[in-house]
Structure 1
């Protein structure tokens, strides 16, 4: 079955920017493939024309299977939002290396796995958009963000390479680099001193931006003509100076 508007796939769709983006694209009439580890959260969204899949982005085959199932119902994925990520912030000297591994596997390999599931088909169709979740921490370094920054700098680097590679095939690559957003990102921080510092900085600037604001920007960038690309979206609270 196909729809007038093409299928959009989102990883990490159970909360934060992923959830807000799922709602925005669904409201705009798109069928959506929603992938996350927490299937109950996806079900609670209650979105129409949605394929829901319990997916860990470290599992390349699981992403591919979810894409195949959704495409059988709604046609090809026209945008992949490689959104899933985790921020295990902490003092690098005392941070457990297992936290490094988790960030590297999810934030870098997970992005590559998400792209791999749709890129060849987009090249064949000469149409499609890759929305790559990075961060302001992929443009600047911050205290206690060492490995996290490294993973987001990786996203920037591979996105630039993908864009150069895919431009002749009319496939767009857009990097999303948010600052402090109202999401569950702090839930993954185990270092108490780092968490306190982050929360103090967030309070000092009057809090973060709603994820709905970011989702609207994503939708606006996607809705540009295919021959036009917003190469990077950088959005922060007005009072976030760095």
Structure 2
């Protein structure tokens, strides 16, 4: 028999894909959500329901979760991994980039959490894992809007943990430093992208997504009465 259902948003690449592969290898059934269905299906994981969903669409997220629960049983864990990192200076960054990050990094986390939380509270069991960033704990040049969304993730996670702890539900924040993912490629300012790449190289490179996936699995696989509230990890050479 497979282990309980885990939902992973942004599962088509990077941390999400690495986590999907790892938890599948550990025997879990999965609901994988992303906008690129072909990338989800290329993972070829057993007991994995792949759905093309924009996680800013709360109705679509809720419908996919209901479908997965009908097939695999209740959601035991939600990994809010989908996100956008659009770096820029507030003085000239396109305002629609702020909207995109707020919708995806903040509101989508709330929508997905709301879709699974009532069942977790009723069962008095479950885990919500929010993928934040070191940028949710400190500031960086050209990160103002992005930092704001990740500080929000940290704050929401801690407040939610306080709300649901009496019901046996765990809330975990994973805060990586630079990771080798596609996130930076969506930044529209080429100079900022170049500067970031140089900074990352000077630190000796970024984390492999597999390392972050292993941190997620470590937190999730603790006994139910143990909550790893936060894991902060970064490449050793990343000073900030």
TM-score of the aligned structures, taking structure 1 as reference length = 0.98
Cross-structure match for 1:114: 112
Q: How does 1:188-203 map to 2 (within 5 A)?
A: 188-203=186-201
CA contact (8 A) 2:5 2:30 kept: yes
1:150-188 CA-partner distances (Å, limit 9, x unpaired)? 000010111111000000001000001000111111111
Given the alignment, which residue of 78, 86, 89 partners 1:88? 86
Distance 1:59 1:173 in 2: 23
Cα distance in 1, alignment partners of residues 19 and 112 from structure 2:
16
The Cα offsets for residues 13-70 of structure 1, whole Å up to 9 and x where unpaired, read as 0010000000000000001000001001001110000001111111001111110111
Match of 1:74 among 66, 72, 75: 72
RMSD: 0.7
What is the CA distance between 1:112 and its match in structure 2?
Answer: 0.5
Q: What's 1:65 paired with?
A: 63
Verify the 8 A CA contact 2:185 2:193 in the aligned structure 1. Answer: no
1:171 counterpart = 2:186: no
* Contact 2:34/2:52 (8 A) holds in 1: yes
8 Å contact kept, 2:101–2:149 = yes
Find out whether 1:104 has 2:102 as its counterpart.
yes
- TM-score, normalised via structure 2 length: 0.99
Aligned residue number for residue 122 of structure 2: 124
- Per-residue CA deviations over 1:57-97 (Å, capped at 9, x if unaligned) read 11001111110111111100100001100011012211110
Structure 1 residues 1-242: aligned runs within 5 Å: 3-242=1-240
Measured in 2, the distance between the counterparts of 1:209 and 1:41 equals 21
Deviations 1:115-171 (A, max 9, x none): 011000000000000001110000001111000000000101111110000000010
**Moved >2 Å (runs of 4+):** none
Runs of at least 5 residues in structure 1 that lack an aligned partner in the other structure:
none
Aligned length: 240
Structure 1 position 4, deviation (Å): 4.2
Per the TM alignment, residue 216 of structure 1 is displaced from its structure 2 partner at its CA by 0.9
Q: Specify every segment of 5 or more residues in structure 2 that has no aligned partner in the other structure, as ranges.
A: none
Q: Which moved more, 1:183-192 or 1:38-47?
A: 183-192
